Amino acid sequence: MKTEDMIIVSVDDHIVEPPDMFEQHVPVQLRAQAPRYEYEANGDGFWIFEDRRVSNTGLNAVVGRPRDEYGMEPAAISQMREGAYDVHKRVDDMNVNGLLASLNFGTFVGFDGAFFQGSSDKKLAHAMVQAYNDWHIDTWCGAYPGRFIPMAILPVWDIDLVVGEIKRVVKKGCHAVAFSDNPSLRGLPSIHNAHWEPLWKVCADNHVVLNCHIGTGAAAAHPSLESPIDAWITGMPMSISNSACDWVQLKALQKYPDLKVALSEGGIGWVPYFLERADFTFEHHHEWTHTDFGGKKPSDIFREHFITCFIDDKFGVKNREDIGVDIICYECDYPHSDTVWPEAPEYLMRNFVGCSDEDIDKITHLNAMRTYSFDPFKDIPREQCTVGALRAKATHVDTTPRSGGGNRPLAEGETRVVTSADIMKLFAEAGRVKEEA
Amino acid sequence: MKTEDMIIVSVDDHIVEPPDMFEQHVPVQLRAQAPRYEYEANGDGFWIFEDRRVSNTGLNAVVGRPRDEYGMEPAAISQMREGAYDVHKRVDDMNVNGLLASLNFGTFVGFDGAFFQGSSDKKLAHAMVQAYNDWHIDTWCGAYPGRFIPMAILPVWDIDLVVGEIKRVVKKGCHAVAFSDNPSLRGLPSIHNAHWEPLWKVCADNHVVLNCHIGTGAAAAHPSLESPIDAWITGMPMSISNSACDWVQLKALQKYPDLKVALSEGGIGWVPYFLERADFTFEHHHEWTHTDFGGKKPSDIFREHFITCFIDDKFGVKNREDIGVDIICYECDYPHSDTVWPEAPEYLMRNFVGCSDEDIDKITHLNAMRTYSFDPFKDIPREQCTVGALRAKATHVDTTPRSGGGNRPLAEGETRVVTSADIMKLFAEAGRVKEEA
């Protein structure tokens, strides 16, 4: 296959929520209480809701900058490439990157959408979750049919509301929800608790995929304050392996053949090791641990219920048979610093050495389409979906790196190695979620 | 190669310290203050030193039991297979398993030997570290030349004592020390702190390998209290990947070409993914993180300075070229529950499908011999070192599974799935290190 003939769907990108997102979708009597995007005197932006503020509005939304600015944290929407928050510019940036479609996680609401869980007025919070989903599905994804896989956030504090919201968004054609990779680390019951039974059922019944992004539970630990930040960045995707070990044990996976879990931004090259290890553990220990996979092995359960994804993972793609060719998807991670935008197709092609066209099609789009009940071709003729066709529409898009401004981890001119302490300080100052004094 | 022709060296096994170990090696004036092994009224054993006691004397030393007793925690030395603590029986068990030689981590002193770091009388503690090492090197390893790779523990609280102790044990032919995979999580400076510079230097100068066992710093987290314990067991080896991400960034590795680090019990199948990811991180981020590998890539540094090991890891062995055939060793993990004793050679051979004899020799013994400056063939003729020759000496060794007694995670007759909460309770009751009230 030629690079320009690929059809690429990404199952992990990010929206930086635009300031006007709550204007249309919040009931009029609650509109004054909706989250607002405001500015400090120095121009830094933040979201404010009830008495909580989120100053970090971009979370590493550095796409399009020179690489020496990847660690400079945008402090306001104005410091980001417009594709981060403007759907029209986003589609331009997708086109220039040859990307047909994209599933987008939120930013100020958290990758698992858990921000509203911390609200004191849960009725208000529920209305905001619904407004968020309506904006996401109708306004953002709705603007370009066939270009986005919609994904809802959940009112996770109330299981009945969760079920209700899923049924509501399914009617809008949404078959994905964001969920913590380890809710027990988010102040919620563990995945093994009967509490979640109605969630598993409603997802399975409606073909709704649970999307567990790295960092939403068992996040990578900074090894030490003095560690070069590269250590943390390196370990970040694989940190979801702790949760993979846990999810594969979930009994509901045996009960609901259609229940699907995505390990978002988790990488793929470590998966065959993990599957072999899970099988060894079962075979070697089940006589005292009493685990039981109904005649199957943990690796069977994984291949039936999980999807994985990668940005650039040649070893994983080479060993796709040991993962399962049907459970590998692509992700672009726009607008975060690991993205290879606007060269995703070129990076991807280097991963596909020795791959059949059939496998390339599965990994680039067919697996994502099947898993997410997503058919872009009903909206866009297939021949207009290729890398070549999309790029031909984007000749006006300027991809020249541009400086963006924001907060630096080091003082101007410093050239020492950036450490975990530097980045922790940067994010603490930005105040991921700051409780107002 | 035939199974019986392999020569197998394991770089990760464990000693359960025998009660009489301090009798010979502690200076007479300190003998009354040495750690003592005592018994509760109910027969449970524990080590006591100063006012601290360690009730868990075996830490999962369940080798030789029926598998349904693997979770039953031995509560006294008398409940373990004798090879756990008796060197003569150990060599019998090595022979019957076709194992030529073994590197042994301690138990009540911790895998990183950090127990004495918690002592109030550091002079006394230093004497005990030296007694421990003398016992380990002279009495345990010394009883069977060519059968053990000696490994010392360190007085980690004082860098000058550390250097002195390493120089002292090197004179006895010891070229391995136990060390935390993340000392910053043990109340010590991080590996990136200048504090450790003399340690790196003395190890490099004397070809002493730092052995970082899983669980000595960045240990696997229990995903939740309700998680089936299989989840924790599955993730345990790979949990060292967080530390691998950190160690590969260590500047001293670029300064000291001979500095070597072993990731003990870490498995190998995830390593190629990790190496590719470390290289991607470097290439993609170094312009702002300022990391610098002196013209090399992180993967080059890893292959020059690290050794890895596996128990049963077909995917890793299949992809040995992507790890580095020269940095893979075997481990047996006797007497812990992941061991495949007494069938290590049979398990191993199933990992070697398609391997050349040259690669098998490297992985089974040549890499370990080179890395640890260990030459068993000067003590034992090579033809007596094979699986077949060793097993021929062990026809009297009874390997029939025997019940061992101890503390169960579940009540008698219970058959529900064992959870993390069950195991945490079991170990809390055993009191890994209990401060006396």
Q: Above 0.90 for ipTM, yes or no?
A: yes
Q: How many CB pairs under 8 A join A and B?
A: 247
Query: Which of B71, B235, B288 is facing A67, going by the closest CB pair?
Result: B288
* Minimum mean pLDDT range among B53-62, B203-212, B285-294: B53-62
> How far apart are the C-alpha atoms of A31 and B28, rounded to whole Å?
81
Q: Any chain B CB within 8 A of the CB of A98? A: no
User: Looking at beta carbons, which residues of chain A come within 8 Å of B285?
Assistant: 67, 70-71, 229-230, 233, 337
Q: Do B289 and A239 touch (CB under 8 A)?
A: no
Selected residue of B197, B234, B247, B296 to mutate for chain A interface (largest A Cβ count, 10 A): B234
| pLDDT tier at B14, thresholds 50, 70, 90 | very high
Q: Any chain A CB within 8 A of the CB of B312? A: yes
Condensed to tens digits (0 to 9), the pLDDT of residues A178-192 reads 999 999 999 999 999
| pLDDT at residue B431 tops 70 | no
> How far apart are the C-alpha atoms of A240 and B113, rounded to whole Å?
30
Selected residue of B65, B191, B227 to mutate for chain A interface (largest A Cβ count, 10 A): B227
pLDDT of residue A436: 39
pLDDT of residue A432: 54
> How far apart are the C-alpha atoms of B221 and B215, rounded to whole Å?
10
| pLDDT tier at B27, thresholds 50, 70, 90 | very high
Percentage of chain A surpassing pLDDT 70? 98
DSSP designation for A165: H
Condensed to tens digits (0 to 9), the pLDDT of residues B321-375 reads 999 999 999 999 999 999 999 999 999 999 999 999 999 999 999 999 999 999 9
Q: Residue holding tokens 């990010």? A: A14
pLDDT of residue B126: 98
- Mean pLDDT of all residues in A101-116: 96
Q: Do B192 and A239 touch (CB under 8 A)?
A: no
For B292-355, the three-class secondary structure string (H helix, E strand, C coil) is: CCCCCCHHHHHHHHEEEEECCCHHHHHCHHHHCHHHEEECCCCCCCCCCCCCHHHHHHHHCCCC
Condensed to tens digits (0 to 9), the pLDDT of residues A219-262 reads 899 999 999 999 999 999 999 999 999 999 999 999 999 999 99
| pLDDT at residue A62 tops 90 | yes
**CA–CA min distance B68, chain A (Å):** 4
| pLDDT at residue A218 tops 50 | yes
Q: Is the pTM of this model over 0.90?
A: yes
pLDDT of residue B437: 35
Selected residue of B185, B283, B289 to mutate for chain A interface (largest A Cβ count, 10 A): B289
Q: Do B288 and A338 touch (CB under 8 A)?
A: no
Q: Any chain B CB within 8 A of the CB of A123? A: no
Which contiguous run of DSSP H or E holds residue A45? Answer: strand A45-49
Q: Do A231 and B237 touch (CB under 8 A)?
A: no
Q: Any chain A CB within 8 A of the CB of B403? A: no
The answer to whether B9 and B369 are in contact (CB under 8 A) is yes
DSSP designation for A261: E
| pLDDT at residue A353 tops 70 | yes
pLDDT of residue A300: 98
User: Looking at beta carbons, which residues of chain A come within 8 Å of B270?
Assistant: 238, 241, 269-270, 273-274
| pLDDT at residue B432 tops 60 | no
Instruction: Identify which of A258, A387, A237 has the alpha carbon closest to the alpha carbon of residue A311.
Output: A237
